[in-house]
Homo-oligomer: A and B are copies of this chain.
Amino acid sequence: MFRIFSIFGNEFNFNAMARTKEFNEDQALDKAIEIFWHKGYNGTSAQDLVTHLGLSRSSLYDTFGDKQKLFVKSLKRYQQQNQESLIQLFENSENIKTTITEIFKQAVLESLQDRITKGCFMVNSAVELAMHDPEIAKIVHDNQKAVEDIFYNAVKKGQESGQISDKQEARSLARFIFNNYSGIRVLARAGENDKQVYDDILKAIFSLF
């Protein structure tokens, strides 16, 4: 920090140093994502955060402000990470339809593998908080639009290259895909672990295009 005081026309420069943080902020945020994802906002106590993040109450509050601010920062980070990996998947994709099926199959795999099925942090937050917290609502809505657009661009590209049937409008298909992705994540969160249920849904989805 660097401060300048001016007293009676004389300037004094103070360049005082402070103790360095003993933890990495991004790593702490990743831990916060984990526990908020698992337990939800209301289900996660300040003590849970202290324990799971491994830093003291004061450090936690000094760094992130309060519980709501930490949650918002976690959710935004999660959003950004997922959005980037989604974009990358389509950038490296040779066949759009195959990539979309891979995305769904991956979601199903996660649902079946995870001993603790967490669903989707964004869907969970939407259901728990969007209605009562405008800031969360905006993040959820922005995410929806962003993901929808990523699917839209992918579908459009797929239709132009003939990989995807153009019987459905690209925008409609993108929204349809997003909707089914949400549904599957809810199913996972609800603890469904019968692979056949997911496979049946995927079969129906991908017979559409």
Which A residues fall within an 8 A CB radius of B? 38-40, 42-43, 116-119, 123-124, 126-128, 130-132, 137, 140-141, 144, 167-169, 171-173, 175-176, 178-184, 186-187, 189-192, 197, 200-201, 203-205, 207-208
Contact = CB atoms under 8 A, between A and B. Distances in A.
Which of A127, A128, A140 has the largest number of chain B CB atoms within 10 A?
A127
Contacts of A207: 167-168, 208
A175 B189 contact: no
B204 A175 contact: yes
**A-side binding surface: helix, strand, loop or mixed?**
helix
A204 B127 contact: no
Contacts of A201: 172, 175-176, 179
